[in-house]
Structure formats: structure tokens, C-alpha cells
Amino acid sequence: MKHPIQRPASRRQNHLATSITHILAGGTLLLAGAAVSSSAFAQEQATNLDRITVTGSNIPRTNTETPSPVQVVTRQEIDRTGKTTVAEYLQTLTADGAGSIPKTFGNGFAGGGAGISLRGLGAGSTLVLLNGRRMATYGLADDGQKVFTDLSTIPLDAVERVEVLKDGASAIYGSDAIAGVVNIILRSDFQGAILRGSYGVSGDGDGDAKKATLTAGTGDLASDGWNAFFSLDVGKTDRIQISDRKNRKWIGTGDIRRWGYDAADAQFLGGAYLSGGTAGGTGPNGSVFDNTGHLVALPGCAGLSTIPGQTDATAQAQGCLWDPAQLYRDLSPEEKYVNVFGRASFAFGEGGEIYTEIGYSKKETIFSNTPSGVSGGWGYPGGPVNANSGPGATMLYAGHPDNPLPYAARLRYSAWDVGPRVTDNTNEFNRFLVGAKGNWGEWSYDTAYLHSGTDLVNKRTGFLNYDAVRCVLGNPACPYGTWRIGDNASQTPQSVYDAISPTISARAKSSLDMFDFTISRSLMDLKGGPLGLAFGTEWRKTSNSLTPQTFTDVGQIIGLGYSAYDGTQNVYAGYAELSAPVLESLELSGAVRYDKYESGEGKATPKLGVKWTPADWIALRASYAEGFRAPNPAENGDGGLAAFSNARDPVRCAIDPANECTARSVAIITRPNKDLKPEESKSYSVGIVLQPTSSTSMTVDAWEIKRTNEIAQGSTADAIAAGNVLRDSNNIGGVLNSGTILAVNTAYVNANSSRVRGIDTDVRQTFDLGPGQLEMDLQWSHILKFERTEGDTTVDYVGTHGNCDVTNCIGTPQDKINFGTTWKQGPWSVSGVVNYIDSMENKDRRGGDYLAFYEDGSPVEKISSFTTFDLSGRWNITEAFELNASVQNVFDRIAPLDPSTYGAVNYNPLHFSGAIGRYFTVGAKYTFK
């Protein structure tokens, strides 16, 4: 095998970056001056439309302000940020929180997918719709449990707007709408053609992103009786490696000792000895345990490590320190994709329409990670595997050419000579819809059949086969040969590598078949308008399956957790809704839905709303909704999960508080539970809508969501306290059964409840400024509580890094703010957006334990706040031709150091733009009439 070659950070000049900076510099100064001229923020005047259906209701209405809080995101708001995908934009919303799935988390269970998590309640509790109807879920469940909708399958150029409903909506849509609904609304008709192209590159000259889109349509539904159009979106984004950010402080290295950390507490620094030399030592040279249970370093550290000052002597004392993340891991994966959307509609009768939609997406994501170790602990359906100690330990046989001891010895070694672990996900998504809508007497109807599916192939290289590894290292008569390691790895024959590191794969499929039928009408005129009524019924069948990664079903892939599931759900539902404007100033609404599952479970969910408008410029609104999320096949089907998380060990912490209180990686083995009940929720919102002038508006909504019967892994902390763990043999302080935790046994249970409470503010203002117009808007989400109850214990995570099982080790910042300004004058427009994420206490909960410590033993108290500024500009040279440019993270802010997260190397995934740095995009659009 080829030895890894460290690629230096790019030094090529970036003339594109310089040009965009000059183009937009004047616009920046203009925006700054305009912002100073006024301290008011507010929303441009809402436009009264013909009767439309707003997300969260089946009854058409004449205005978009409903009793429920709905944020409408226009295409302009998306374009001004410079984001090139739906997922990238939605994950910047202030309502998005912990549990969202960024595309950059390529080494997670759901690598290659992208999901949104409203209110921080998880991507599985946020329902994503396309044109008001569901989509098949992504083939891979987040954390092996949470089934979600992949946002990256939607072509951005076909998007007309996005509506985000911020309260429960199970009474309208059924399961999964606990935290809210994201409805991505695509164009309904189109004539002509638009050709777009864009090219993006980072300030470091890498991460090149090339994208082209063609949207074309013909026919006029009103005059021709038909319309058909399609949108084709293709693109490729090059990977960025950790090594490409070597000069970006902690972003480009796993070695954070220069910022005050001990080697043992730098989770991405490899090779360090832990616990007094009785654990760790997984370096490029290798280490073996002597008869006293202490590690002995093998030679060659100085020539294999990238960290200065490493010698055989220092390796014996502290382990061979090295930086595998810098050598092998990607910061952002390589992506290639094609997205297609098409729609055709045909008029018939008086106002009738037959319509059909097709969608297809294919995306390949390739992510490179650090090499595998030869030992560790992991799980499979047969239970935990202990390759660290005991009869299953990975050994160097006595007499092995690289074993300095006269007896067989347990081995720690990072297989750098095998190469990085590379995950290649190829996902195909399809969607077909055919429906009809129109009028029948006094009734309006809409009915459709939908089929949607995904087919994902997950291929991996660089992983190690457990039995083969033990053979080539521990058996002198192994038929594959002998694996030479460390300094002598070049002597290993290719046949050994072929035996120990086969290509492995898994396949995931999901499908959705759905038929729905909705009718609505006005029953009578009330003082405030027509009394609206809607009825509907729905049938849907969903299936999810994941074959386990090759050999993981028998526990044979070192360090790779087992994940598999298979299940099908049939659901039948009926629902009714009423909208009653009883007075000109008072609107009441109500809805109820009953979902019946084939398993026999049934759930009724109501929703009530009220809006009072005492004057034209002010309205008060409130809503109450109940919701539910049915168990998915990963939770109650056939299969299981063996994953990794970070956990503190109270046993070792009590014995050696100076060295053993840091949360460290452990395997979590979780079994499905067929007796699970649906999660249930109650959500409340109360708000005020103000529009004192035609150019000023503001909404403030207080909200609370209570979720009970929460489906989660049994408490890791409780399992550890109960001793339901697998421990290594390195006992400390003479205390029996105090070895390092390798695995924790749990099951999915309905044991927890959550309560999340906060305030959302949306302010918008428009000014006529000289010959142009200035638009300003601000969205602010403030979290008051994020409580979780397990048994008799209730903890609050707000403002903290949070429990990694709840937040994906991302945390729960108390405040997120987006402030945007756009100045328009004739063919020009310039926009700026400020994004703010609050600081977090580096604790597992409010009043809880710190998650990381400096070398002097003092705790890492806080993860700093993070603010970025994005700038974009557009120039319509002619009516048909437009040029545009954008700079994300204009001031090149560096993401704060986060030593506790496992979602990224030393930075929080919330702060991803601060890891990449300044990013430039130029584009052009031509419209054919």
C-alpha cells in the first residue's frame, strides 16, 4: 500500500476572490451607512393575495397571517445569502437548532444527508413537505435512529418560497410534525427559459463549487389550457481537508496543547498515553502492554509523526503523539449531484386542473476520515466485542519481528499504512405525483397519488476485519502472512492488506406511497367573512430498510458500529378543519385528525387557534396543538444499533478526579423495542402582529412544546451507574471493575419527556432612500428552557453544550439572530446578512459538570459566541442578463475552539462557516423570453 503523503495547504493566488472583494466593497459601506440612519426594523407590507392555502391549513384564505406563526422565506432572502442549496440556507434559520444534520458530518450514520431540526427537537420531529406533501425519507437514519427527510434532493432554482410553520401540525399532517413543518413550495407554472451558472471558491483557493441550472417551460394554463416545465440542477463541490487549514489555528490540527490543553484531553490528537500509561497509545508506531499492564512504545515515532519533538524517548514517556485528523480527515466532503424536477398541468371544465410532478436526484458524497485502530470496543447483535483486553484482545505474537517483548502482548496501533477510512455514499431519490383539483358545485377538491423512494449504496474502504487482523498479527502460521507495522510497514505484502481491509458496503432503501383526498367549501357568511370547512382522508404506506455493513452483523469490522433495520407502516387517516371569522376582528379555527396504524395503534390530535384584530395595525394570536411521532422501523422494527458517543465515567472520576473526569468515547449498544408507544406532544403559542405603517411590521411569538413518551436510548448515565457496561482490564486505585468503559448496553424506551420554551421575533422595515429602497429585517430566536426529564430527574440544557445524546454534541445556544439589509436601485441590489450564535456553557447541563479541562485542571467554562457577515450583490445588465456575486464570512471569522463536540474537529458544526473561512461565489443568469 502507498504511504500517506501530507498535502500542503494551498498557496495558489485567488484572483477571483480579490475581484469580488473590490466589486462588493462599495456596497458594504453603503449598507453600513444606511443601517446607522435608523434603528427600526420591520417587515415589508404583506401582500393580499387571491385565496391561497397556507402551510398548516387545508382551507384557502385571503391573507397569510394565520393564528399559527408561519415564517415565509422568499426567493430573494435565499439568494442574498449566497447559499447554493436549500439545506445550507434552512440550517441558518434561527429556529433551527441542535439535532440538525449538516452535509459536513460525513462520518456520521447519516453521512451525505442534510436535515433541519426545528426547536432543537431533532430532524425526526420536523416534518418536511414538498408542495404540501411528504417525501420519502433519507435511507440512513441519523445516529442510526432518527429517520428524516434529506433536503439536498431539491433543486434550488425550482423553489418559489419556503414556509416554516413553527407550532405543532399533527392535526393537519399526522406524524412527525411535533416541532413544526417546513414546506418547500416549488414553481407551479413557468414559461420561457432561465439558464444559471455559478462558481465558488474559498479564500484559501479550495472547495471549488461548480453549478449549472436550466429551467424551461411552455404553455399557458389560462389561455392554452396547459403548462409544462422542468428544472435541471447539476453541480460538483471539491473536498476540503483538515490539512488545508493548517494555518487556521485549531481548525487545521487535532493538537490543541498550545491553547492550554493536555494531550490526554485533546480528543483528536492521537497516540497519547492515558490513565498513567494503561490506556491510549494508538499511534503510527504502535505500542504493546507489558506484564504490568503498562504501554511500551515501538520504535520509529520520530519518522512517522508530524508533530515536532517526537522521539523514541518521548514516545516511551507519553506515547507517540501525532495528528491523524490533519493527515487524513476531510473538513468538507466531495460532492457530485444532479437534481431534476418537472411539472405539467392541464385544465378541464370550469376551473379544473389535472397535474403531475416528477422528481429525480442522484448525489454522491465521499468523505475521508482517520485510519482505523486495531483494537477497541464495539457492538453487534451478539453483544459487545472487547478487542482491548481479555481473550478477544488484538495481540502481537511472541517472536513477531516488531514485538520487543519475549511474550505475546496486547497491541495498540493506528493502521496508517492501510490508509484512511473512506465512505462513499451514492443516493438516488425519485418522486412521482399525479392529481386533480377543481370545483364540484360549492365544494373545492384536491386529490393525488404520490410515490417516492430512495435507494442508497454505502461503500467503505480502509476498515479492518477483526479476525484477519488477529491472524496476521497474532498467529505466526497465518495463511495470509505477517503484518509488519510501524517503522517496518513497508515490508508488508499487498496480500496481507487485501485480507485485512476488504471493501465493505451497506444498502438502504425507503419508500412512500400515499393517496389523499381533501374537499373544502364556504358554509355561510359570518360577520368577518366566510365560514370555511375542510374534510380529508389519507392513506400512506412507508417502508425503511438498511442492510448491515458487511461483516458488522457478526462483529467483524473493528470499531464500526452495527446498524440495521427493516419495517413497514400502513396508516389510514381522516381529518376535519374549520375556520370561523366570527367577527371582522375575531377569527377562530379548529382541526382534528385521527391516524390509525395497521399495528392497531390509533391517535387523535386536535388543534385550536384564535386571532383577534382590534385595529388594522395590530393582531393578537394564539394556538394550541397536540402532536405525535410514531416509532420508526429503526426503533421498533427488526435490527439494532451499535454506535459511539461521549460519556463521563463516575467510577474512574471518583478515584482519579484530576485525570479521569473528561467525557470520552464509548460504544452504545441499543436494541429495538416492539412495545414502543408513539411520542406525544402539546404545543402552545401566543403572539402579537404589528403593522403600524405600510412599510413596518413586527411579530413576536412566545411558544412552548412539551413532548412525552419520548423515544430515546436508555440513559447512558443510568446504564453506567447500574454497571450495565463492558470495561477494559485497566483497573485503577486497586478498585475492582474500574477499567475504562468500552461499551454500554441500552434499549429504546419511552422513558423521557422534554419541554422547550422560547420567544421568536421577526421585524421588517422598508425605507425609500434617495433613488433607491432599503429593506431591513431581523429574526431572533430566544430559548428560555430546554428541559429533559429522565425518571425523577429533570435537567435544563439551555445555554449549555448539552447532553450529547440529545444535541448531537452541538449544544443549545440561548440566542440566534439573523439581521439582513438589502439596498435596491434600478438594476443594482446589494445585500448583507449578519448571523449571530450565542455562547454556551461547556457543561452537560445547567448546573452540571464541565465537559473538558485545561492542562492545569481548570475547566473549559464556555464556548464563545460566533458572528459572521455575508455580502452579496446583483447587477441586471439587461432585462435578460444578470451578474451576481457573494462573499460568505466576509471578515474571515474563525470558529471558536470547541474541545467537546464530536461532530467536527475542534469546532462546533453550528460554526461551520468559521471553519471554511471566507468563501466567494460568482454567477450569471440569462432569461430567454
Secondary structure in 3-state letters for 73-116: EEHHHHHCCCCCCHHHHHCCCCCECCCCECCCCCCCCCCCCCEC
The pLDDT of residue 876 is 94
Do 242 and 252 form a contact (C-beta atoms < 8 A)? Answer: yes
SS (H, E, C) 527-588: CCEEEEEEEEEEEEEEEEEECCCCCHHHCCECCCCCEEEEEEEEEEEEEEEEEEEEECCEEE
Q: Which residue has the cell 483497573?
A: 731
Helix, strand, or coil here: 139? coil
Residue 272 identity:
A
Residue 91 identity:
Q
* Burial tier of 554 (Cβ tally within 10 Å: 0-12, 13-18, 19+): middle
All three cell numbers of 671, joined, read 436494541
Q: Which residue has the cell 439551555?
A: 798
Nearest to 32 by CA among 906, 871, 886: 871
Residue 642 identity:
A
Q: Could you say which DSSP state residue 304 is in? A: H
Nearest to 404 by CA among 268, 493, 325, 312: 312
The answer for residues whose C-beta is within 8 angstroms of residue 142's C-beta and 6 or more apart is 99, 101, 108, 109, 110, 113, 115, 122, 123, 124, 148, 808
Q: Kindly report the number of other CB atoms within 10 A of residue 214's CB atom.
A: 15
Q: Kindly report the number of other CB atoms within 10 A of residue 445's CB atom.
A: 17
Q: Which segments in the chain show pLDDT lower than 70?
A: 1-52, 61-64, 99-111, 143-145, 637-646, 665, 667, 714-715, 724, 745, 805-808
The pLDDT of residue 643 is 63
* Burial tier of 781 (Cβ tally within 10 Å: 0-12, 13-18, 19+): buried
The pLDDT of residue 486 is 94
The pLDDT of residue 750 is 81
Question: Long-range CB contacts (< 8 A, 24+ apart) of 653-659?
Answer: 655/732, 655/733, 655/735, 655/738, 656/275, 656/732, 656/733, 658/857, 659/264, 659/274, 659/275, 659/276
Give kind and range of the element (H or E) at residue 665. Answer: strand 664-671
Tens digit of each residue's pLDDT (9 = 90 or more) over 2-15: 333 233 333 334 44
Distance, in Å, from the CA atom of 825 to the CA atom of 741, rounded to the nearest integer, reads 63
Q: Could you say which DSSP state residue 69 is in? A: -
The pLDDT of residue 633 is 75
Torsion of CA 468, 399, 387, 462, to 10 degrees: -40
Distance, in Å, from the CA atom of 110 to the CA atom of 103, rounded to the nearest integer, reads 9
All three cell numbers of 897, joined, read 475552539
The pLDDT of residue 271 is 93
Tell me how long the chain is: 929
The pLDDT of residue 807 is 60
Give kind and range of the element (H or E) at residue 250. Answer: none
Distance, in Å, from the CA atom of 336 to the CA atom of 339, rounded to the nearest integer, reads 10
The pLDDT of residue 104 is 62
Give kind and range of the element (H or E) at residue 454. Answer: strand 443-461
**pTM score of the predicted model:** 0.85
All three cell numbers of 418, joined, read 492501510
